[in-house]
């Protein structure tokens, strides 16, 4: 009888601490959603605020992902990785953003957002990090994995007509078409 009572007491204690954990991480996830909404609504010219929000979003999302990913649904885990990527980009941590966009796509390849993750990765590699070789590979991967997606079609046109060309070459092409 004493064993049953002790076992019941232990189960009750663990379930109470688990409820606190569930409450904590759902509260933190909701706070992250609010911060992310702030970033979306922020003035693009307010670089300091964007940077601060980006750092906060990146750190919060990674903290939640590392500590609680087993408790979250796939949609919530995808949101956390997406926040880590967009937060990194807003915080001007572009190599991190590239890595988190790739991780989100690899972890959730069937997501509607997966092509967007690859496109954002390619865009950052191309326009910000100026890593043309890896940018080309990223665009080609997008085209290969998601051939019917509109971003793939845009990427094909971009690679065929714009990628790697100087401003002078692009102007010459535009002028010759007019």
- Give the model confidence (pLDDT) of 127-147 as tens digits: 999 999 999 999 999 999 999
14: left (phi over 0), alpha (psi -120 to 50) or beta: alpha
pLDDT score at 23: 55
Query: Band of the pLDDT at 2, cuts 50, 70, 90?
Result: low
Q: 19, exposed or middle or buried, with CB in 10 Å at 0-12, 13-18, 19+?
A: exposed
Residue with tokens 């990223």: 138
* Helical axes 114-123 vs 150-161, angle rounded to 10°: 20
Quote the DSSP letter at residue 149: S
Question: How far apart, in Å, are the Cα atoms of 89 and each of 51, 73, 94, 125, 171?
Answer: 9, 24, 5, 12, 30
Mean pLDDT taken over the chain: 88
Q: Say whether pLDDT at 121 is over 60.
A: yes
pLDDT score at 76: 96
| Tokens (6 digits) for 66 | 């590392």
Total count of residues recorded for the chain: 178
pLDDT score at 26: 85
What's the average model confidence in pLDDT over 134-162?
95
CB atoms within 10 A of CB 174: 9
Instruction: State residue 56 phi and psi, 5-degree precision.
Output: -65, -45
Short-list 92, 91, 87, 110, CA closest to 101: 87
Q: Which residue has the higher pLDDT, 33 or 1?
A: 33
pLDDT score at 175: 84
Gap between the Cα atoms of 50 and 171, Å rounded = 33
Q: Say whether pLDDT at 6 is over 60.
A: no
Prediction pTM value: 0.83
* Helical axes 74-90 vs 114-123, angle rounded to 10°: 20
């Amino acid at each position: 009888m004493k064993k049953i009572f002790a076992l019941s007491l232990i189960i009750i204690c663990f379930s109470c601490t688990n409820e606190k954990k569930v409450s904590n991480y759902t509260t933190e996830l909701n706070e992250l959603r609010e911060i992310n909404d702030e970033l979306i609504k922020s003035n693009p010219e307010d670089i300091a605020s964007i940077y601060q929000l980006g750092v906060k979003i990146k750190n919060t999302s990674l903290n939640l992902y590392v500590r609680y990913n087993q408790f979250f649904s796939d949609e919530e885990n995808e949101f956390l990785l997406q926040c880590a990527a967009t937060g990194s980009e807003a915080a001007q941590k572009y190599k991190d953003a590239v890595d988190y966009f790739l991780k989100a796509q690899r972890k959730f390849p069937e997501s509607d957002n997966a092509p967007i993750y690859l496109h954002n990765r390619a865009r950052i590699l191309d326009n910000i990090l100026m890593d043309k070789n890896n940018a080309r590979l990223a665009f080609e991967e997008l085209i290969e994995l998601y051939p019917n997606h509109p971003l793939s079609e845009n990427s094909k046109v971009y690679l065929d007509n714009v990628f790697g060309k100087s401003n002078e070459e692009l102007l010459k092409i535009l002028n010759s078409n007019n």
